[in-house]
């Protein structure tokens, strides 16, 4: 597990270890190339190589396009798209040598359908889908699959703070009439990382309750 906030990850790692699972925490800032290289090197030193990579970064700096600051555009693209690309570059050599690997990029329904006030976020998540397809074509002959998962509205700490009327409007737009759960997104990631998905690459798996078809 990797993130900028190591304390929060350590707490989660403690919960996993208490249940008998293994957990390894590393500090990683996807907006900083040096941090990406250091984190990849630390994981490789601990485990020998990285077989499965899940790019789950996602920051927002929302605002209407005509008022959006370049710094807000740059920050979102750097963390959500460029950082993921640089991390993929770090893991590909070992995956190619081993002739096995799984790369799963977490995109968003916003990257497929767009969303007012989120031109930067939508661009970054749409870019992940295009990047996924391109690298999937490059790596297919090496048995390295590259796929994306595009969640819709998911019950998270962020969505919990939304006003009731906003939540009601969100749910009303979803054919299944409910938001998704983190476990449902995790199940999609787990499937794409498994041998059962060995013949799937360059695909975007929607987990959105029918919000975008």
Classify residue 20: in a domain, yes or no.
no
Q: How many domains does the chain have?
A: 1
Q: What is the DSSP letter of 142?
A: G
Q: What is the DSSP letter of 195?
A: G
Classify residue 5: in a domain, yes or no.
no
- The residues annotated as belonging to the active site are 121
Other Cβ atoms within 10 Å of 112 Cβ, number: 19
**CATH label of the domain that carries residue 79:** 3.40.50.720
Classify residue 13: in a domain, yes or no.
no
- Higher model confidence: residue 105 or residue 157? 105
pLDDT of 94 over the 90 cut: yes
CA 160 to chain CA centroid, nearest Å: 20
Read off the pLDDT band of 25 (50, 70, 90). Answer: confident
Read off the pLDDT band of 21 (50, 70, 90). Answer: confident
Read off the pLDDT band of 23 (50, 70, 90). Answer: confident
Per the structure block, which two tokens stand in for 178?
């409910």
**20-23 — which CB contacts under 8 Å span 24+ positions?**
none
For residues 177-196, average pLDDT: 97
Classify residue 113: in a domain, yes or no.
yes
What pTM value is reported for the model? Answer: 0.92
Classify residue 21: in a domain, yes or no.
no
Per the structure block, which two tokens stand in for 5?
């906030």
Residue 106 in 3-state DSSP?
strand
**86-99 b/e (C-beta count within 10 Å ≥ 16 → b):** bbbebbbebbbeee
Per the structure block, which two tokens stand in for 4?
């900028």
Classify residue 74: in a domain, yes or no.
yes
For residues 20-47, average pLDDT: 87
Classify residue 18: in a domain, yes or no.
no
Give the domain range for residue 113.
31-207
Provide the β-strand partners of residue 2. Answer: 26
Classify residue 196: in a domain, yes or no.
yes
Q: What is the DSSP letter of 177?
A: S
């Amino acid at each position: 597990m990797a993130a900028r906030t190591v304390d929060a990850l350590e707490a989660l790692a403690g919960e996993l270890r208490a249940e008998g699972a293994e957990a390894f925490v590393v500090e990683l800032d996807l907006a900083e190339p040096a941090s990406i290289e250091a984190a990849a090197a630390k994981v490789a030193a601990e485990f020998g190589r990285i077989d499965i990579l899940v790019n789950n970064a996602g920051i927002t700096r929302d605002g209407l396009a005509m008022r959006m600051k370049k710094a807000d555009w740059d920050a979102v693209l750097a963390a959500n798209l460029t950082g993921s690309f640089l991390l993929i570059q770090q893991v590909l050599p070992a995956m190619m040598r081993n002739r096995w690997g799984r790369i799963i990029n977490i995109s968003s329904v916003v990257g497929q359908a767009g969303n007012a006030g989120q031109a930067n976020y939508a661009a970054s998540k749409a870019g992940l889908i295009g990047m996924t397809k391109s690298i999937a074509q490059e790596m297919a002959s090496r048995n390295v699959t590259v796929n994306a998962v595009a969640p819709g509205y998911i019950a998270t700490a962020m969505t919990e703070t939304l006003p009731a009327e906003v939540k009601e409007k969100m749910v009303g737009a979803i054919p299944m009439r409910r938001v998704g759960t983190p476990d449902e997104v995790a199940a999609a990631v787990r499937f794409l990382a498994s041998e059962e998905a060995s013949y799937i690459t360059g695909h975007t798996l929607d987990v959105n309750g029918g919000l975008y078809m």
